[in-house]
Structure 1
Amino acid sequence: MGVFNERAALASSITHSIELVDKQSAIFALYNTNKQKSTRNLSRESGSFIFLQLVKQVLHKMSSSEEATKTSKREMLDTCRLYYRGNKKAMEDIDKFELEYTSDQAIKWYTENSFIYRLINKALRTEDINALYTYRFYIVDLCTCLAEQSKELYDSASNMHVYRGVRMPQKEIERLRESVGHLISVNAYFSTSRQLNVSEAYAGIGSTNISSDLGSVVFDIEVVLEEYLTTIVADVRHLSRFRDEDEVLFDIGTVFKIQSMKYNEQQNYWQCRIITTDEGRAIAKEYIDLKQIELNGSNDIESTFGDLLFEMGEWLKSRTYFQNVAERRPNDPYILFGIGRSHYNFCESDQAMSYFRTAYDLCMKDNDKRLTLAATICRYMCRVHEDC
């Protein structure tokens, strides 16, 4: 960490070291195109991959009005204050955020204030539906700002290389080795650097304090900046406290293809070469199109997202999510069916039947007589009597 003569310099160094550890930790979602031939029957990991492709669309939908944005901001600040109670510095930052924040400053606040990026990236990595719903207003702002900043890189019209250094469990490294030629997405905003030496430091190359359970990995990332691609990536160096790191930030759900995984014998680290790709969009579209057929032609991204969570085996998260949606759509039979279905999977028969009956009645009262959904609900009601 270094030797310091001033307390302020020491505090700054400690803060930077904490942020370094937090930024270099990452959880990956892999999509094996050989094993996952179709999105009809998803594995847990393939579901997580598609989760990252859809989550932005859903959060945008949930923050589509000025009133919804105000409510979301208030909920987020209340949650942050509860989490950081007793932390004077964080509480001061939260108060400042409440007074001074504007939507166009989202990147600046993300790179300068740890109270935001830690909570949001934690929520993304754990797929915490409640937390993501709470932070939705800021996530939408940050995604929007990154998209705007991204245009500047695309205008440069030349591809670039950036780097990311991490310390990873050996079993995760083995997963990467087995996934060469397949797709990878990161469950967070993905911080990288134009400087290889910065990423080598993050990976702990040359350090003698790395556990034998961990290995050093440097991602060598080729960023393809062609007009037809939709990768959102922004140069945020001018907004960062640590400008010498030359930070480049990727949006949530950015997809890469793993090109190679080679071990550097001299410096004892793995070099993983990856390249940006649009293939993730095609996979998400296939899933959305499939759900549209199941939903009788409805292009309802909110229902699709809840179904995805359910199909991943995340029944509680699916129920929590549908309950949040129900606050805005209390008389939507599919949303109520989604809540009841999760109760059924937990063998909570009374709660399941209550939601199923209400959803069925709403189907039959609908002018369009949602008969397909009504039939599905009837099948589930029969299952309740048989199984619970």
Structure 2
Amino acid sequence: MADKLFSIEKDKVNLEDLTIIWLDKHSQDLNTKTRLRCIINFLKIFTDLHLCFEYIQSIPNEWIFIIASGELSFEFIPLIQNLPQVLHMYIFCQYPERYSSLKSSGIFNNQELLYSQLSKDVNYFYATHSTSTSFLPEKSLRDLTKDTGAFFWFRLFITALISMPSSDKAKQDLLHFARVYYTDNDLELQRINNFDTTYKPSEALKWYSSDSFVYRLLNKAIRTENIDLLFACRFFITDLHHQLESLHKPYVERICSYDLDELLVYHGQQMTSDDFNKLKANIGELISINSFLSTSLDRQVALIYAGDKRIHPTMESVLFKIKININENSETHQHPFASISEFSRFDDEQEVLFSLSSMFRIESIDEQL
């Protein structure tokens, strides 16, 4: 298993959700590369506009941030502005006023300001794109197709991972892999060493709620159903699930003490039009959230994470209103949920986290234009 994981890095496959591309006729110095990789690890540099465009077209399922020089922007931006995988396009130039007519996420002539905006946009991405879903029509329980077979297989695999004991060997397997993958990223290596020396199973939620390498690797593994990477993350998945289990019963008891039978939470995210259409096509059916699902008791917080379609017109801004019947929730021991505000970076967001593979039924969808 480890050998297979290490071969992935050699092939330069991106094991995080984001790719950063720098397009400039002049090659970039080492300091620029280092600074960018501290924000997005997977960096591609192009000096040829057409080779860059071909590369972007070859990765339709990745999320891309692009920095282009001013002199190439006039020709390049019309090529990529409607590609859904391109989330942000920044222009770096000496004279910003020359390019003000171009559609971009910002025009900069100062690298520090560019890095600052890039960091903000990356943090926003992880807050609004962290959920992976799959659907299970009722007939699938009787008519197993290839897709529904894969659906059940993935759930069984996750169940098996959670049931595996957490061990120091499993932790060291992931850290060894991470050190190989981030071998040229000194800042990330420092973070990995810090994780190695300070991590405790009782702090799994704290690490998941932070901007950590293990959070990014796990989310990409879940989104792409990368079995090798999921297996490498097995100890962390187990610790997260068990910590939620330990918090679940006291949390439900506290809700019941207020004579409440129902918990109402909200989840905001951006999704592609294709994924949103799948939601509309599955009203009345079951939806499985493959990832850990972050929700909030505060509707306004979730609305912020739903994003603004005017800023990203290729994406849909979606707000989920989720009702949990406390008395009838018979599978809470398998799919626990709990308030994690005390572990979150943003304790005022009233966050409630659901474990992997939680299932819900889509009751209705209201579209607001």
TM-score, L = length of structure 1: 0.59
Q: Spell out the pairing of 1:225-264 with structure 2 (5 A cutoff).
A: 225-226=326-327, 228-230=330-332, 231-264=335-368
For residues 70 and 204 of structure 1, what CA distance do their matches in structure 2 show? 39
Unaligned runs of 5+ in 1: 269-388
Match of 1:28 among 114, 133, 139: 133
Tell me which amino acid in the other structure corresponds to 1:32.
P
Q: Partner amino acid for 1:219?
A: F
Aligned to 1:55: 157
Deviation at 1:106, TM superposition (A): 0.8
Query: Do structure 1's residue 148 and structure 2's residue 246 form an aligned pair?
Result: yes
Residues 342-361 of structure 1: matches in 2 within 5 Å?
none
Deviations along 1:195-245, one digit per CA (max 9) or x if unpaired, are 21222122224x53122x322111111122226342411211111111222
Answering whether residue 220 of structure 2 is matched by residue 122 of structure 1, we say yes
| Contact in 1 for aligned 2:133/2:291 (Cα 8 Å) | no
Look up the equivalent residue of 1:204 and give its one-letter code.
G
Counterpart position of 2:298: 195
Please list the CA deviations of residues 48-92 of structure 1 after superposition, one character each: whole Å capped at 9, or x if unmatched.
43234323331145x33x7xx222111100112222233333222
**Which of the pair is proportionally richer in strand?**
2
Among residues 325, 339, 355, which one is paired with 1:224 in the alignment?
325
Q: 2:282 aligns with which of 143, 167, 179?
A: 179
Between the aligned partners of 2:170 and 2:341, the Cα distance in structure 1 is 29
SS in 1 for 2:342: helix
Higher helix proportion: 1
Task: Provide the residue aligned with 2:172 in structure 1.
Answer: 74
Distance 2:225 2:182 in 1: 21
Cα separation, 1, equivalents of 2:161 and 2:331: 22
Query: In 2, distance between residues paired with 1:13 and 1:229?
Result: 43
How many Å apart are 1:154 and its aligned residue? 1.2
Cα shift at 1:8: 11
Larger Rg: 1
- Residue identity in the other structure for 1:122: K
2: CA distance, partners of 1:105 / 1:99? 13
Secondary structure of the corresponding residue to residue 364 of structure 2: strand
Q: Contact (CA 8 Å) 1:31, 1:184: kept in 2 or not?
A: yes
Conserved 8 A contact 1:160-1:223: yes
Answering whether residue 229 of structure 2 is matched by residue 131 of structure 1, we say: yes
Distance 1:176 1:88, change over 3 A: same
**Please, what TM-score do these two structures have when normalized by structure 2?**
0.62
8 Å contact from structure 1 (residues 232, 250) kept in 2: yes
**Structure 1 match to 2:4:** none
> Is this contact kept in 2: 1:52–1:252, CA < 8 A?
no
Change (3 A) 1:8 1:50: farther
TM-aligned CA deviation for residue 144 of structure 1: 0.5
Alpha-carbon distance in structure 2 between the residues aligned to 1:263 and 1:16:
29
Q: 1:92 to 1:13 in 2, by over 3 A?
A: farther
**Per-residue deviation at 1:148?**
0.9
- Runs of 5+ consecutive residues of structure 2 not aligned to the other structure: 1-104
1:132 Cα shift?
Answer: 1.2
Matched residue count: 252
- % identical equivalent positions: 30
Secondary structure of the residue aligned to 1:259 is coil
CA spacing shift, 1:100–1:191, aligned 2, 3 Å: same
